[in-house]
Structure 1
Amino acid sequence: MEEENKISVDDIILKEIKADRMEVYHVYLNSEQVGYIQLKYGILRVEYPEAGGELLLRKFPKGDNVFELDERNYYLEEAKKAIVIRAINSLAPIKESSSQEDIPDENKPVINDYRIGNYILDEYGEVGQIVAINSEKVFNYETQKKIYIGTVSLKSLKSFDWHGSQGRWLEKCNPIVISDEWLLRLGFSIEDNIATYSGRQHEFSIYTDSNKTWKPLDYKGGFKHLYFVHEIQNLIHALTGEEIILKYNP
């Protein structure tokens, strides 16, 4: 994606701003401000596109209100990387991924895996938020077993109108495969192979392995791998009681 939009860390310009008891930078791309970096009370905040905007990164350097000499370059580079990723996403529509070719059949969702508030793709590839779920048990003559079929009502994220007010057959909808772009939308910050969500009173991290699946960090024992956006939503809600609010719409 960086190649398509031809934006790199080298294109980012930092301008240090004189401030009392904190280290502050305004971040520019082609003379337009695209970020704000602040170190205050030992907390580094990186926001897009300006102060008070979308939080991209939060770190805890050794320095209190000024970086230590041996850490300044490292943290400023990490801040620039986060801003570049977000700037690229704002320039080009993100291609939604619904590919499930590498996902084991037993991990593909069924109706009972969804709940109201989850984000999924309808049959046209548009992102919607589930506002109602209806299911019923019917007899499948092929398998000679009873199965659940269902419909969902989706609210469009691109307008205030109902998207598919008659409902969508769930079997024609697709879950959203986890990607870096979607983690940023959900409010995660990403560093190497670790993504961290900072909620109102909670911080939760997941990591990805060579199989490109995600698992909770520091969890001991077996755990179902995370493949889809709705699984992250449901897990964080179960652990913290918080609902994830999208930082920006698709």
Structure 2
Amino acid sequence: MEAKELRIGNCIDFNGMLCVIEEIDGQGVVVDIAESQENEWIDLFQFTPIHLTEEWLVKLGFEKSDSLSNCTKTTNGYKFDFAGGEVLYLDSVRLKHIKYVHQLQNLYFALTGEELTIKS
């Protein structure tokens, strides 16, 4: 993963722990480790992206459809619709394959101006 793919607030995985990026430099990131509430600097090669799953979509505020195998979220006039795992439709137009949580967070922010964060 490259630093240019990341933004402050992105969720990543470090040794099986959920981390939220607090700072970014060319070599690594400073993260808030959710389990320990501690900040730690991590080299870019030490963490991995989080695969986008139905569970993650729900954590990010998407609603699971009862009749279809998709998750949706409507905000600022946009309807985000994930079908078949990683295909994103925006207002019924197929956009792209999204594989990772940070990719969805970045696209969501670019389109809405709002952060996509984990819902409590």
TM-score (norm 2): 0.85
1:153 and 2:25 matched:
no
Query: Shift of residue 232 of structure 1?
Result: 0.8
User: Considering only CA atoms, is the larger Rg found in Structure 1 or Structure 2?
Assistant: 1
Q: Which has the higher contact order (CA 8 A, sep 6+)?
A: 2
Please state if 1:246 is matched with 2:118: yes
Q: 1:213 maps to which residue? A: 86
Aligned length: 117
Distance 2:93 2:3 in 1: 27
Q: Which residue identity lines up with residue 56 of structure 2 in the other structure?
A: W
Q: Secondary structure at the match of 2:12?
A: strand
Q: Which residue number in structure 1 is paired with residue 69 of structure 2?
A: 193
Larger helix share, 1 or 2: 1
The unaligned stretches of length 5 or more in structure 1 are: 1-108, 136-149
Deviation at 1:156, TM superposition (A): 1.8
**Secondary structure, counterpart of 1:168 in structure 2:** strand
User: Residue 108 of structure 2: SS of its match in structure 1?
Assistant: helix
TM value normalised by structure 1: 0.43
CA offsets 1:168-187 (integer angstroms, 9 cap, x no match): 11112000001111111100
Cα deviation, residue 196, structure 1? 1.3
Tell me: CA distance 1:197–1:243, structure 2 relative to 1, closer, same or farther (3 Å): same
Alpha-carbon distance in structure 1 between the residues aligned to 2:96 and 2:87: 9
Q: Which of these residues, 116, 120, 134, is aligned with residue 25 of structure 2? A: 134
Show structure 2 runs of 5+ residues with no match.
none
Moved over 4 A (4+): none
Separation in structure 2 between the aligned mates of residue 203 and residue 189 of structure 1, nearest angstrom: 14
Q: Quick one: which amino acid aligns to residue 72 of structure 2?
A: T
